């Protein structure tokens, strides 16, 4: 499982000219799954994301996690995180989990964040999405559940 974490000032996702998810300050999560991902990967990632100390404290030091704030999460499915570009210039997506199983795990992931007290907005799994990310910092962190 891979997640690109971006600290955001304001972000939204639009599907068919309709906003499906929008946050002010918080985290944008671009979420992708590979074939052998399971609940252990989800639990690891949820714990890591909730405890990443990437928000400023009163002294301006990145010392607070999203749990320490009232900020929100915008979670967006992103199978292209598993693009393989080793051969040629056209990416292969064979390392991405099949859509039906990935959709199931994506829902479990978002529900785990919610169970942990997070306000989670989402895009639409498998849809063509217009994503607007106003990166704060910029702060961007790449997490991979297989690299611990």
**Token pair in block for residue 85:** 């570009």
| Domain 2-144 in CATH 3.30.9.10 | no
pTM over 0.85: yes
Peptide bond into 138 cis (omega under 30): yes
Distance in angstroms (rounded) separating the CA atoms of residues 16 and 39: 31
Token pair 């609940």: residue? 39
Active site residues: 78-80
pLDDT band with cut points at 50, 70 and 90 for residue 1: very high
Question: Which pLDDT score is estimated for 148?
Answer: 86
Q: 29 is written with which tokens?
A: 């999560």
Confidence of residue 129 (pLDDT cuts 50, 70, 90): very high
**Mean pLDDT value across residues 5-31:** 97
Residue of 75, 66, 62 lying closest to 139 (CA atoms) = 62
Mean pLDDT for the stretch of residues 70-88: 96
Q: Where are the domains of the chain?
A: 2-144
């Amino acid at each position: 499982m891979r997640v690109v974490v971006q600290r955001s000032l304001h972000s939204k996702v639009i599907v068919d000219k309709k906003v499906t998810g929008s946050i002010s300050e918080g985290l944008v999560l671009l979420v992708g799954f590979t074939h052998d991902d399971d609940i252990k990967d989800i639990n690891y990632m949820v714990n890591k994301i909730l405890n990443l100390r990437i928000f400023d404290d009163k002294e301006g030091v990145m010392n607070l996690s999203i749990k320490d704030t009232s900020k929100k999460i915008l979670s967006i499915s992103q199978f292209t995180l598993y693009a393989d570009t080793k051969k040629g210039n056209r990416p292969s997506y064979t390392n991405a989990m099949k859509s039906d199983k990935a959709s199931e795990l994506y829902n479990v992931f978002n529900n785990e964040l919610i169970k942990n007290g997070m306000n989670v907005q989402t895009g639409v799994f498998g849809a063509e999405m217009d994503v607007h990310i106003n990166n704060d910092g910029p702060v961007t962190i790449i997490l991979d559940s297989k690299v611990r």
